[in-house]
Amino acid sequence: MSITLKDIKKNPAVKAYITKSDESLLAIGYTEHSFAHVTKVAVTAQAILNETGHTKREGELAAIAGYLHDIGNMINRKGHETSGALMAFHLLSQMGMPEEEIATITTAIGNHDESSAFPVNDVAAALIIADKSDVRRTRVRNKDTIAFDIHDRVNYAVTSSVITVKPDSKEILLTLEIDVESSPISEYFEIFLSRMILCRKAAEKLGYRFSLIINEQKMM
């Protein structure tokens, strides 16, 4: 029987690793990386592959990669993509997943962080877009940091973030609503331009164009 996202969510080790990873990031002042983030990434990555003509199983693998992609933060933020891939390899092997599927998922996890990311396969491409597009107000844990932390300020300013796949025009859209009183649009590009370029490369891997719309204006 194929391993599904539902199986992954029920695994007690996965629950513990996600919880402890987020606790580590909270301690060093990062935005939310807990179950809300990984669930959103899993659902979005799966939808991207489903809507770009991939098989249902490929979409499921993208969902699993999305759910597990940040568990390496439990060890250290630096190199978390590599440690997370190794942890996922061990978990999925124990659960009896076929080697080829494990390879696909761990490759995607190992290539999702912008410091070393590249859309080496379609699951990795979907994971990159899903992860880098999860910018939203609810990820900010402490509103007191908004005044001096640009990452918190930009996340807090994003009141809506939606990924849309348009097969007819071969376009993947990230549509954002930004409260410019909380943060000017220029600050979004100041910290996230490299992520948007990475999303463009990921979309191209899937045979699509990536477009960014902010406050109803197309930016790229």
Answer whether 171's CB lies under 8 Å from 109's CB. no
Domain that holds residue 70: 5-218
Answer whether 72's CB lies under 8 Å from 83's CB. yes
User: How many angstroms separate the most distant Cα atoms in the chain?
Assistant: 52
pLDDT in tens, 12-52: 999 999 999 999 999 999 999 999 999 999 999 999 999 99
Answer whether 155's CB lies under 8 Å from 137's CB. yes
More confident residue, 219 or 111: 111
Least confident interval from 35-49, 127-141, 142-156, 199-213: 142-156
Q: Residue 43, class by beta-carbon neighbours within 10 Å (0-12 exposed, 13-18 middle, 19+ buried)?
A: middle
The CATH number linked to 42 is 1.10.3210
**How far is the CA of 148 from the CAs of 31, 159, 188, in angstroms?**
14, 19, 15
| pLDDT over 90 at 71, yes or no | yes
Q: Round to the nearest angstrom and report the end-to-end CA distance of the chain.
A: 43
pTM of the prediction? 0.96
Structural domains counted in the chain: 1
